[in-house]
Amino acid sequence: MTDFDARSTELVQRIAAALTATSARIAVAESCTGGWIAKALTDQPGSSAWFGYGFITYSDEAKQALLGVSAETLALHGAVSAEVAEQMATGARLASAAELALAVSGIAGPGGGSAAKPVGTVCLAWAGPGVQLISRVRRFSGDRDAVRRQSVIAALEGALVQLTAP
């Protein structure tokens, strides 16, 4: 088992326990991770009790159609922005009626980066009634796989924080 596998498994087990303890559900909206977060969550036996929705919205059109991300926000801030990640998380939460939704959008590479948003830029957001709306912009290093793995871990860590915060 790799360090990534061990860490993601540990995080998912803790998320599952927190969701189960409160009979809550989680939803995910993913772009650059392409469903990897949903896979990590549903690898956990019994996940159907607390996981119901996963949106893979790789294109701007999918973000708009499935999650209600506004064309104006995409035009003003770009798909890789805290504002878009926030709208993705909010849209996933509303569409799923989950108590917590997380979203991730980023530039995993090897191309697609710019001076303002280099490869490795990843925007994450979490939305929920007790959580309200929280977003973070991170800069990860490494190749495409490394950026995506770090994004999955950051999304799961953030979800756990939101679920266990007082």
3-state SS of the chain: helix, strand, coil percent to 5? 50, 20, 30
pLDDT in tens, 65-121: 999 999 999 999 999 999 999 999 999 999 999 999 999 999 999 999 999 999 999
CA distances from 84 to 9, 22, 24, 87, 105 (A): 28, 29, 25, 5, 8
pLDDT in tens, 118-166: 999 999 999 987 768 999 999 999 999 999 999 999 999 999 999 998 7
> Hey, what domains does the chain have and what are their CATH numbers?
3-164 (3.90.950.20)
What's the pTM value of the predicted model, to 2 decimals?
A: 0.97
pLDDT at 55: 98
Contact 122, 105 (CB under 8 A): yes
pLDDT in tens, 16-71: 999 999 999 999 999 999 999 999 999 999 999 999 999 999 999 999 999 999 99
DSSP β-bridge partners for residue 53: 27
